[in-house]
Amino acid sequence: MLIAGVDEVGRGPLVGDVVTAAVILDPLNPIAELNDSKKLSEKKRNALFPIIKERALAWSIGRATPAEIDELNILHATMLAMTRAVDGLSLSPDFVKVDGNRLPKWRYAGEAIVKGDGSVAEISAASILAKVIRDTEMQALDVLYPAYGFAQHKGYPTKAHLDSLQYLPILPEYRKSFKPVASLLAQRNITS
C-alpha cells in the first residue's frame, strides 16, 4: 500500500507562497530522525532534505501564490496547494495522511491527523521538504530586498517585520488580504 504524507508551511506569514509537500516513503529504506520540521534544527532539516528526496519512492511540491491566497483565503489556498502536491506525485497513493484537522475535497482516500508531522514518518518528511523549500525562498527574497529581514522572520508578522513595514513599500509578494498588510494599504491609499 502506497501511503503519502502531506504537510504545509507558510499559512501564517504575510509574504510568499504557502508551500506543501507530498511524500511516499520506501518502507524498505527507512529514514532515521524524521520529525516535525519545527522540532528539528535548521542544520538537521537541511541534512535530511536530500536524503528524503533520494530515498522516497515519490515526492512532490505544491504551492499557492499570494494572489491565490488573496482570492481564495488561506485555508482554501492551502487545500489547493495540498491537492497540487499529491497530484504531482509520480506514483498515485492508495491513501493520504494529512497533517491537521481537515482534508481537501479530492479524489484520494485519506485522513487528517492532528500533530501528524510529529507522529507519521511520511508527514514528517513532507514537513521537512516544505519547510526547507519555503525557507530557501525567503532567504532568496532577503537577498533581493535586504531591508525587510526575510531571512530572519521568514515572512511571519514579527514585531521587527511589522515595524519595517511602517516605512517600506508593500512588495508584490505580500498577501494583500492579510490584516496587517490590508490595513497598511488602506492607510497609504487614504494619505496618497
pLDDT digits (tens, 9 = 90+) for 34-58: 998 999 999 999 999 999 999 999 9
pLDDT on residue 57: 98
pLDDT on residue 44: 96
CB 114 within 8 A of CB 101: yes
- List of domains in the chain: 3-142 (3.30.420.10)
d(CA 146, CA 105): 39
d(CA 129, CA 52): 8
The overall average pLDDT reported for the chain is 95
- Share above pLDDT 90 across residues of the chain, in percent, rounded to a whole number: 96
Between these two residues, 113 and 188, which has the higher pLDDT value? 113
Spell out the SS3 assignment of 125-139: HHHHHHHHHHHHHHH
191 pLDDT more than 90: no
pLDDT-derived band at 192 (thresholds 50, 70, 90) equals: very low
